[in-house]
Chains A and B, each alone.
Chain A
Amino acid sequence: MKKSNLSSKAKKSIIITGSALVCVAVAAIALHMGGGVVAAAEPQSTASSSPSTSAVVSVPPIEQQSETESGTSSAFVPSSGASQSTELTTISKPTSAPPTPSAASGTNLTDKTKKPSYTSKPRANKSTTKPSITKPKMGDKRVYNGQKQIYDDGFGWVEDGGGGGKGTTVEGDWGGGSQVGIMD
Chain B
Amino acid sequence: MKRIISLILSIILVVLIPCTAFADGTGEGNMDGGGGSMGGGTGGNFWHEGEDGVRVTVVRISDNNPVSIPIDLTNSNENDIYKHFGKKSKVHYRSGSTFMLFTDNYTYTKPSKALPRIISSGGNANIAAIKSYFCSEETLKKIASIIGTTYDTLIDGKYKLLIEPVAYFTFNGYKMAMTATEAALYDQKLSGGLRSKMVSLTHQNLPLSMFLEKSDLGYPAYSGSTTKAQSDTTIISYLGLGIVKFKEDPPTPPPVSTSTATYRTNTDVITSVTLNTDSQINPNSPARVTFNIGGSSYSVTNIVIPEGDSQVVWVKWHTPSTAQKISISMSASKGSLSASSITADIVSLDNNIPPDPTADDKNDGFTTPSLPSNTQITSNSWGVWSAVWVPNWVWHEDWHWVKDSNSKTGGHWKDNGKWVDEGSWKYTYTGYHASLSASMSLLPDDKVPSAQGKQMASGYGVKINVSANLNTTAPSAHYTCAQTGVSYFPEFDYKTYWRHLALTANGESSSLAFKPNIYSTYNRGVHFTPLWFPDGKYTTYTYLQDAWTPGGMLSMNLNDYVTIKGNVYQDWHIGPKLAD
Is B106 a contact of A166 with CB atoms below 8 Å?
A: yes
Among B95-120, those with CB < 8 Å from A are: 100-116
Residues in chain A near residue B136, CB distance under 8 A: 174-181
Asked if B474 lies at the interface with its beta carbon under 8 angstroms from chain A, I say: no
B268 and A72 within 8 A (CB): yes
Pick from B102, B301, B446: contact of A86, CB below 8 A: B301
Residue A36 CB within 8 A of the other chain: no
Contact between A175 and B102 (Cβ–Cβ < 8 Å)? no
Q: Which residues of chain A from 78 to 116 have a CB within 8 Å of any chain B CB?
A: 78-95, 97-98, 100-101, 103, 109-112, 115-116
For residue B146, which residues in chain A have a CB less than 8 angstroms away from its CB? 170
Is the CB of A129 closer than 8 A to any CB of chain B?
yes
CB of B353 within 8 A of chain A?
Answer: no
Knowing A88-B301, A94-B391, A167-B79 touch, does A177 contact B267 (C-beta < 8 A)? Answer: no
B317 engages A179 (CB within 8 Å): no
Residues of A within 8 A of B212 (CB): 184
Asked if A138 contacts B172 (CB within 8 A), the reply is: yes
Query: Across the interface, do B213 and A184 meet the contact criterion of CB distance under 8 Å?
Result: yes
* Cβ-defined contact, B246 with A176, below 8 A: no
Interface check B302, CB cutoff 8 A: yes
CB-CB under 8 A from A60, the residues of chain B are: 446
Give the nearest-CB partner of B142 in chain A: A172
Instruction: Give the residue among A79, A91, A162 with the most B Cβ atoms within 10 A.
Output: A91
Is residue B339 contacting chain A, with contact meaning CB distance below 8 A? no
Quick check: is A2 within 8 A (CB to CB) of the other chain? no
Q: Is the CB of A74 within 8 A of B108?
A: no
Q: Considering only CB atoms, which chain B residue lies closest to A122 in the complex?
A: B395
A31 CB–B CB distance under 8 Å: no
For B138, give its contact among A65, A94, A163, A177 (CB under 8 Å): A177
For window 41-73 of A, CB contacts with B under 8 Å fall at: 60, 62-63, 65-72
Q: Can you list, as one digit per residue, whether each of B505-520 has a CB less than 8 Å from chain A (1) or not (0)?
A: 1110000010110000
Q: Pick the contact of A88: B172, B284, B303, B502 (CB < 8 A).
A: B303
How many residues of chain A have a CB within 8 Å of chain B? Answer: 86
Q: Which positions 171-208 of chain B face chain A at CB distance < 8 Å? A: 172-175, 186, 189-190, 193
Q: Please tell me if the beta carbons of A89 and B302 are within 8 angstroms of each other in the complex.
A: yes
Residues B131 and A139 in contact, CB atoms below 8 Å apart: no
Tell me whether A165 and B138 are in contact in the complex, defined as CB-CB below 8 angstroms, given that A85-B299, A112-B409 are known contacts.
no
Given A112-B410, A172-B142, is A179 in contact with B132 using a C-beta cutoff of 8 Å? yes
Give Cα distance in the complex from A78 to B391, angstroms: 42
Known: A65-B516, A78-B317, A172-B141. A163 touches B110 (CB 8 A): no
Q: Select which of A62, A150, A163, A184 is within 8 A of B214 by beta carbon.
A: A184
Q: Are A98 and B393 in contact (CB under 8 A)?
A: yes
Closest Cβ of chain B to A37, distance in Å, is: 38
Residues of B within 8 A of A166 (CB): 79, 105-108
CB-defined contacts of B505 to chain A, threshold 8 Å: 68
Residues of chain B within 8 A of A72, CB atoms compared: 268, 476, 480, 506-507
B79 touching A180, Cβ below 8 Å: no
Q: When the two chains form their complex, are residues A162 and B104 in contact, meaning their CB atoms are under 8 A apart? A: yes
Counting CB contacts under 8 A, is A10 at the interface?
Answer: no
- Known A-B contacts A70-B268, A154-B190, A182-B244; the reply to A81 vs B296 at CB < 8 A is yes
> Does A40 interact with chain B (Cβ within 8 Å)?
no
The residue on B at minimum CB distance from A84 is: B298
Considering the chains assembled together, what is the distance between the CA atoms of A164 and B79 in angstroms? 5
Given known pairs A65-B516, A76-B317, the reply for A164 and B106 (CB within 8 Å) is yes
Given contacts A76-B315, A155-B101, contact A68 B389 (CB under 8 A): no
On chain B, the residues within 8 Å of A121 by CB distance are: 394-395
The docked-state distance in angstroms from the alpha carbon of A70 to that of B513 is 14
Separation of A123 and B410 alpha carbons in the complex (Å): 31
B245 touching A182 by the CB < 8 A rule?
Answer: yes
Task: Evaluate contact between B213 and A75: CB separation under 8 angstroms.
Answer: no
Q: Which of A67, A80, A161, A181 contacts B245 (CB 8 A)?
A: A181
Q: Which segment, of B16-24, B370-378, B380-388, faces chain A?
A: B380-388
- B109 and A167: CB pair below 8 A? yes
Sample (17) of A-B pairs whose CB atoms are under 8 Å apart:
A65-B516, A71-B506, A74-B476, A76-B296, A78-B318, A88-B303, A89-B385, A116-B399, A154-B193, A161-B102, A168-B110, A170-B109, A174-B112, A180-B135, A180-B140, A181-B244, A183-B245
16 extra A-B contacts, CB within 8 A, seeds A122-B395, A155-B100, A184-B213: A76-B296, A86-B300, A94-B391, A97-B419, A110-B407, A111-B409, A112-B411, A115-B399, A123-B395, A152-B83, A154-B190, A164-B79, A165-B78, A170-B145, A173-B113, A183-B245
B residues contacting A by CB (< 8 A) are: 74, 77-83, 100-116, 130-142, 145-146, 155, 161, 172-175, 186, 189-190, 193, 212-214, 216, 242-248, 266-268, 283-284, 286, 293-304, 311, 313, 315-318, 326, 384-387, 389-391, 393-395, 397, 399, 401, 407, 409-415, 417-419, 421, 446, 476-477, 480, 483, 502-507, 513, 515-516, 522, 524-525
